[in-house]
A and B are shown apart, each in its own frame.
Chain A
Amino acid sequence: MSKDADLVKKLQNPALKDIAFSELLDVYQERLYWHIRKIVTTHENADDVLQNTFIRIYKNIQKFEGNSSLHTWMYRIAYNESIRFLENNNKKRYDHIDAISESHLEVLFEDEYFDGDEVQKKLTTIIAGFTEKQQRVFQMKYFDDLSFRKISEILEVSESTLKSTYYTTVKIIEEKIFL
């Protein structure tokens, strides 16, 4: 039995749930935090969304049937929570989630937990210029090191489309970053 399968078994057992959940936090908290942080921009927002994500995981773990891996299932919850957070917080200001990217840079560069140099700012600016989907694909692959199969399960997009999107974004970054 894999480590995740063992963890799920414990999480679905009421007697072991709390201990197993603490273990789950140790393994996945940091990875989910960075996944969320890149979507919601600031540390403060990421902290809120991370908390909501884990509460949702705790409450819904009994419903997890193992159709996907635990890792993918939690990423999907984190992704959906982040998108919901953005939509709720930006409803008044933006008509579409793509429009959020326009203010993304302003908010990010003003965040007290951002300390990027010129190259980092440049990379962030290039990524912010991508469509919402391109950003997610690049970030999940490049920064979160997820396989194309897992990204495909999270975003519900075919692997071939993801590969094409990813290599397009990498090419654009390579061309622009050293200009």
Chain B
Amino acid sequence: MEKSTENNNKQNFLKEGFKGDISKHHKKYLGTEIPEGYFTKSKSSILDKIKEDVKIEVSIATKKQLVFWMRPQFKYIAAASLVFIFSVTVWLQSFNKTDVLDETNFELFAFSDDVLIESLLVDESEIEAFTDATLFNEILVKAELSEQKLDNLVLDNLMLEDSLLDNYIDYRLIETLVL
């Protein structure tokens, strides 16, 4: 008899489950309760909290609109200004650099062009005369001068050696004769 009651209880537990009133169901099986009129109070409390939150959000949004640097437009203006300043700085730097390079290149090219044009206009006889004079001055004259210097040096040395030898011989002869 006891066993059959137990089996019935087991079957009932599975079959009963949820039936309509969820609060009663929890009270029946779990013993959990709620304060009297809780859901009415909770509903108004939730709605009040939401109204409060919405008010706070609106006031923050209004403040953002009132304060100039918190306005969304300000962000775009500030960003655009920064981009403009940066672009101008970069452009100015590259502009100055180009000028310097151009001037230098222009002078260099002008000088080299002048030299080339001048060289084309010079007569060949003039070039030959110039090369002859340069050759004569630089090679022949200098070589002649250095040869003369060498001869003089040899002669000087020879003369000096002869006189010294003569002096020595004379000195030794006198010394020998006297002694």
Chain A residues with CB under 8 Å of chain B are 21-22, 25-26, 29-31, 33-34, 37-38, 43, 47, 50-51, 54-55, 58-59, 108, 111, 113-117, 120-121, 123-124, 142-145, 170, 173-174, 177-178
CB distance from A128 to the nearest CB of B (A): 11
A113 touches B34 (CB 8 A): yes
How extensive is the interface on chain B, given as a class? 20 to 34
List the A side residues contacting B25 at CB < 8 Å.
143
B35 touches A29 (CB 8 A): no
In the complex, what distance in Å separates the CA atom of A170 from the CA atom of B29? 14
A114 touches B32 (CB 8 A): yes
A29 touches B23 (CB 8 A): no
A142 touches B17 (CB 8 A): yes
A145 touches B18 (CB 8 A): yes
In the complex, what distance in Å separates the CA atom of A165 from the CA atom of B43? 35
A55 touches B18 (CB 8 A): no
List the A side residues contacting B33 at CB < 8 Å.
43, 113-115
The DSSP consensus for interface residues of chain B is: helix
Given contacts A43-B35, A117-B31, A142-B17, contact A34 B42 (CB under 8 A): no
CB distance from A52 to the nearest CB of B (A): 9
Report the stretch among B46-54, B83-91, B117-125, B153-161 that lies at the interface. B46-54
A21 touches B50 (CB 8 A): yes
List the B side residues contacting A144 at CB < 8 Å.
18, 22
Given contacts A170-B14, A178-B9, contact A116 B32 (CB under 8 A): yes
Chain B residues with CB under 8 Å of chain A are 6, 9-10, 13-14, 17-18, 22-23, 25-26, 29-35, 39, 42-43, 45-47, 49-50, 53
Q: Which residue of B lies closest to A117 (CB)?
A: B31
A55 touches B49 (CB 8 A): yes
A145 touches B31 (CB 8 A): no
The DSSP consensus for interface residues of chain A is: helix
- Of the candidates A29, A114, A145, the one whose C-beta lies within 8 Å of that of B42 is A29
Given contacts A121-B31, A173-B13, A178-B6, contact A51 B46 (CB under 8 A): yes
In the complex, what distance in Å separates the CA atom of A142 from the CA atom of B35? 23
Given contacts A43-B35, A55-B46, A177-B13, contact A34 B23 (CB under 8 A): yes
A116 touches B13 (CB 8 A): no
- Of the candidates B17, B32, B47, the one whose C-beta lies within 8 Å of that of A113 is B32
In the complex, what distance in Å separates the CA atom of A16 from the CA atom of B29? 39
Among B23, B29, B35, which residue has the most Cβ atoms of chain A within 10 A?
B29
Closest 10 CB pairs of A and B: A116-B31, A145-B18, A120-B31, A113-B33, A54-B46, A174-B10, A25-B43, A58-B50, A178-B6, A115-B31
A47 touches B18 (CB 8 A): no
In the complex, what distance in Å separates the CA atom of A114 from the CA atom of B10? 24
In the complex, what distance in Å separates the CA atom of A167 from the CA atom of B107? 97
In the complex, what distance in Å separates the CA atom of A117 from the CA atom of B25? 15
A143 touches B9 (CB 8 A): no
B50 touches A120 (CB 8 A): no
In the complex, what distance in Å separates the CA atom of A51 from the CA atom of B38? 13
In the complex, what distance in Å separates the CA atom of A38 from the CA atom of B34? 13
B30 touches A116 (CB 8 A): yes
Q: Which residue of B lies closest to A51 (CB)?
A: B46
CB distance from A91 to the nearest CB of B (A): 25
List the A side residues contacting B26 at CB < 8 Å.
34, 37, 143
* CB-defined A-B contacts under 8 Å, sample of 25: A21-B50, A22-B43, A25-B46, A29-B43, A43-B32, A47-B42, A50-B42, A51-B45, A51-B46, A55-B46, A55-B50, A58-B50, A114-B31, A114-B33, A115-B33, A116-B32, A120-B29, A123-B29, A142-B18, A143-B22, A143-B26, A143-B30, A144-B18, A145-B22, A178-B9
